[in-house]
Structure 1
């Protein structure tokens, strides 16, 4: 008998479980374990030699195509990193999540369970010093190098997850390899929140949209989905052409021969899935994509043959032995041109996917292909850089990168920061700056809102955003609606005056950055607001932030960090994709907040009068700017009734039951803390008569945490 979960009984209940991941370690590694320190103990050359040995030693239980596992391992690494999407920074290779559901059982990852199992001897040898996340990506690099390609570099530092990332929205469908209209907007573009056009596939259907060999539609899908990883046309073509230079696709027969995926496979298969009943079930009889054949006659060598084959021959669609659409040379020129996967004498036909021929069909993609054909060095360089970007995009700034193969160059997609050419402020200078801020006309509310707007752009998914760099003063952030641009300009102007006054007065090498000044001002505001409520709290300040330049800031890349909604500032954007409270939890998860931390921050921001546009929604206090627990006390007061003001039920009024007068206004961001049973349980702790001091101190701690999320130099 199976027992229904709370979620199954009430499927519309607000899901707070994603925040529990930040309350403690779900895995077996000790809290004190330092993966970066352990990784640095590795002899990376020795690790790569061990991977190379695995790669070139074919196993009977899963024989290597052409005697080399390189193409399989490239696919493994690509499919691990290729789930990244820029909208929320989720997905990607970090966490080694390909070994966990749902990714370990995606239709596009058929037989990658074998690739990871082949690598177990290497993982077993190095244990905790080498995470699966790093091993999978490193193996992809070793595979490329083993077959003659020169990679751009490799960085370690991906700590493993031990449970699925439930915060990722993979799409609305409830069937694998399906596509619903909800996945696209009215103009036919992929929804901003998603990264793939088909449920369970990394990017697009290789047969073409809806399984049809539609070249124009396929090219549009390719450009759409790769743009969701911030890849331009050249990077897109480089990745596809470079990856398809190696290996083959497998479709010896219909996928009906395959057993269930790993998460549904019988217990005796011990985590392996897709048991194949066709022929020997492996080697020439392998079934993966359902499409059959190599792209060229040299599938384990880096060369131009993929590009040349695609451009030099005319291709026409046909159904392969697996029943899927694929493309063959119109005059059979490349039939029997490739060696067999086990016996080179068993010749195979060279084929192309619809997604390959679509590159030739699209004029802009084709221009890139022709450039690569005419300039092989440019092809090498472009693929090396695009591959490096693909496998490192979710790792954040280069200061987090580990190992001897980290390139010296910092790319614009890594959100570079300048090196400080001055000494950071010490205790005496901080005290001087505190006085200058206190003597300014900046209110508690203004300082809190500005510091929050700067720091809360951080997202732990891909380590982007945050206060470091003071990019709030640069486009596009300074013009975001949520930041009240006109008021922000005034506040930044005051901070710039303080910065200039302080820096110009120094006779030494000590300087203060605007980034540090903004955070210091926010910290002081919290301390002042707590003192006004009768509590002495210290919000620690660690200087060392720097100010980025416009040249170091890719405006288009930073646009994706603009929030659709911000529950902490009670900002409701238009046409929200989810209920406001779901947007709040999503933001909290990206900020690595627990349920109590999210709760105290919302309650504190309200009484600190830090709402967007000076709104009084949720400001349940007669003393705005003072850090009291009034938000919780008044929310829990049941002497009045809440009524929605419109059909959307996003804004509400609290009316006195006797007089009918409106006492407070609020949004769903506010009322969810009294409505949701779990949030109410937490709210009651802070709203009790003995809860205020606890609230104030925990707000200060949570505030400090957000201000330091991007300080990787302090880790």
Structure 2
């Protein structure tokens, strides 16, 4: 029986909760082994030699895929751009890290047509340096080398991206069933929340214009929305498009629907992972987008050709040889021609895309483009910084950046945190501070919720958020509904007073940051709660966090981390229109948690009573504040019969089977641990008579993991 003859559980039961993202966290397919240290391996490279090898590959045309103009530079720029350009700020997923352009679905998106060839051209370099140079670093480095080879000075390059060996099972690329369709608009021009591109299978927007129509103003609206969803403003967007389109050409010598074979994931086995096969001995006859032609007269040189051509000439739409809409200079204009890409004798007239014309027609973009035209140095710097942001946005804070070309300047989008400039607290100070924290007016629940709210902002997708920096005291995090702003403010005032008193009393250089104190408070509360249940535990604590300033915090960008749901605190915003348990899995995946860690954390937080607004929803225990296994015991008990509440679709009520009295209230997030077979199996371990101690141990381990997810200095 082949795999096509059997159905998966998800096909049999489509509504079944998908737990694959958390399995991905538990079982990373990595042939390099746990002991391999990529940072150390990368630092051993002679980066200049690597760049020389890339340059050699880039300027040596191959018969099996001839280079345009004898130079693969523009091709490599497109590869790097499309690798990084999948990033979206909403969940931090996508981007260059992991090198996931090598895997479906991204590898077979129509927008990535023939980029499989770009990676094969780079294979000799990857083969030479092996595990010391990841594909994800090589792809971005090749883009930088390409830009430099064609006369532009980049802002810098950082290594440190480790390769993935599978697709990202948690990423949602859209609701469509077919590529190049767009069923993602809640209303005209408004892309569904959380999605980055306007069309399935594209990085950003349709280059012909929305719905394949040459409408520059509608295109400008889509461009602004898609680029803003990867945290780019108008100036950065214009700089990226103008800078990227200064190089190379597009390929539409014929209709791709009629003359191009299947994408890599659908190609026959003998093509060995390559796709989009089509006839044509030279690349000039090859087809990618269906749009044909260069933007400038010198496609392998950095110059002002794109900006000048766009702004100085009038353009009109026409159907190109590939049947797609593109723009050509109006008759009577003397636009400098480009050479034939494959050395033919006929000169080629430059073209523009609808997305290019959008930069001229939209008033705000036009003003930026006029400034660029008047100030080429400003254009160059804007492109350099925007390209650096594009290709490094998903790497997290700058302490993760590796190599000799890392810029000295730190940008606000890198979430800077001050260096430690004091001596750290030791065991004696930690013990004294724990005692003071527990003796303060702050309850066990408030200490736990404050620490959790601070640390659980972390996203492993782009290494943002976390407790380090204590940004929970800054805008926008201090005002988020999930954090209970009024109660949080009181807690922060108390913690700040403890910090100031401690630091002011020292005659030495030992100091404690608020970021450290917040985490320490959560640890102390959990240790006390475990003691209340009869267990003596000590949560590891590593001081060294510092406190960021408001000026070091990009308020608009950080707003993307705002939770609409926090299943661990049983917070569900009224706007949530998906099953809450799905969003719990999504959040747990971003926290790099496994199924077991997620289960232990939810059950432990409920036992502690650390719920949003102190609600009793999910607190299935008569002794909240003690770290027990009561949540699991009572959830799985057959003494209780659950019914959906009339108050909300998210709320359930548990009635005593004998008396009919209401015993408990729970959310969908709570009940999923008894409903889903895999989660129930784990819950049964914790609910058993010998399971409580294991729950305490697993909860402590998972808690410590979350508190230190952003401590890259400990790696």
The TM-score normalised by the length of structure 1 is 0.98
Compared CA separation, residues 563 and 553, structure 1 to 2 (3 A): same
| Aligned pairs for 1:320-331 within 5 A | 320-331=320-331
Aligned counterparts of 2:336 and 2:469: Cα–Cα separation in 1: 57
Quote the residue 1:21 is aligned against.
Answer: 24
CA distance in 1, matches of 2:473, 2:65: 56
- How does 1:116-515 map onto structure 2 within 5 Å? 116-180=119-183, 183-186=184-187, 188-255=189-256, 256-277=258-279, 279-280=280-281, 282-331=282-331, 333=333, 337-343=337-343, 345-515=345-515
User: Aligned ranges for residues 94-133 of structure 1 at < 5 Å?
Assistant: 94-133=97-136
Match of 2:82 in 1: 79
- 1:104-124: CA deviations, max 9, x gaps? 100000000000000000000
Indicate the SS of the match to 1:394.
helix
Distance, in Å, in 1 between the alignment partners of 2:81 and 2:505 is 53
Distance 2:195 2:316 in 1: 31
Aligned to 1:41: 44
Q: CA RMSD in A?
A: 1.1
Deviates more, 1:522-531 or 1:66-75: 522-531
Whether 1:609 aligns to 2:612 is no
Whether the aligned pair in 1 keeps the contact of 2:174 and 2:200 (CA below 8 Å) is yes
Distance 1:334 1:75 in 2: 29
Q: Which digits, 9 at most, give the CA deviation of each residue in 1:570-598, with x for residues without a partner?
A: 00112214210001000000000000000
Contact 1:66 1:342 in 2 (8 A): yes
Q: Distance in 2 between matches of 1:701 and 1:598?
A: 11
Shift of 1:646: 2.8
Q: Is the 8 A contact 1:335 1:348 kept in 2?
A: no
TM-score w.r.t. structure 2 length?
Answer: 0.98
Residue in structure 2 matched with residue 533 of structure 1 by the alignment: 533
Secondary structure of 2:171's aligned partner:
coil
How far did residue 345 of structure 1 move?
A: 2.1
CA distance in 2, matches of 1:579, 1:561: 20
Contact 2:454 2:466 in 1 (8 A): yes
Which stretch of the first structure deviates more once superposed, 525-534 or 309-318? 525-534
The alignment partner of 2:186 has SS state of coil
Aligned pair partner of 1:10 in 9, 13, 28? 13
Residue 660 of structure 1: how far off its partner (Å): 2.2
Q: What's the counterpart of residue 649 of structure 2?
A: 649
Q: 1: distance between equivalents of 2:83 and 2:679? A: 35
Post-superposition shift, 1:545?
A: 0.2
Once residues 187 and 106 of structure 1 are traced to their aligned partners in structure 2, the CA distance between those partners, rounded to angstroms, is: 24
SS of residue in 2 equivalent to 1:14 = coil
Q: SS of 2:395's equivalent? A: coil
Matched with 2:640 is 640
- 1:585 corresponds to: 585
Q: Find the aligned partners of 1:596 and 1:333 in 2 and give their Cα distance.
A: 68
Query: How far did 1:430 drift?
Result: 1.3
Is 1:522 the counterpart of 2:522? The answer is yes
- How many angstroms does 1:41 deviate by? 0.2
Q: 2:251, 2:293 within 8 Å by CA — same for their partners in 1?
A: yes
**Distance in structure 2 (CA, Å) of the matches to 1:192 and 1:302:** 37
| Inter-partner Cα distance in structure 2 for 1:290 and 1:54 | 27
Whether contact under 8 Å (2:189, 2:222) holds in the other structure is no
Of 23-32 and 387-396, deviating more is: 23-32
Deviation for aligned residue 1:655: 1.1
Gaps of 5+ in 1: none
- Inter-partner Cα distance in structure 1 for 2:556 and 2:191: 18
SS of residue in 2 equivalent to 1:652? strand
Residue 685 (str. 1) matches residue 685 (str. 2): yes
**In structure 2, C-alpha distance between the alignment counterparts of 1:220 and 1:428, rounded to whole Å:** 59
User: Secondary structure at 2:596's aligned position in 1?
Assistant: helix
2:189 touches 2:218 (CA, 8 Å); kept in 1?
A: no
Any stretches of 5+ residues in structure 2 without a counterpart?
none
1:56 maps to 59
Q: Could you tell me which residue of structure 2 aligns to residue 556 of structure 1?
A: 556
Secondary structure of the corresponding residue to residue 263 of structure 1: helix
The Cα shift of 1:154 comes to 0.1
Deviation, 1:283, is: 1.4
Alpha-carbon deviation of 1:187? 6.5
Q: CA deviation at 1:166?
A: 1.2
Cα deviation, residue 335, structure 1: 6.8
Mapped to 2, the partners of 1:269 and 1:577 lie a distance apart of 43
Provide Cα deviations, 1:663-704, integer angstroms capped at 9, x if missing partner: 000100100000001100110010011100000000000000
- Write the distance in 2 (CA, Å) between the matches of 1:270 and 1:87: 35
| Length, aligned pairs only | 711
CA distance in 2, matches of 1:315, 1:636: 69
Q: Aligned equivalents of 1:304 and 1:671: distance in 2?
A: 61
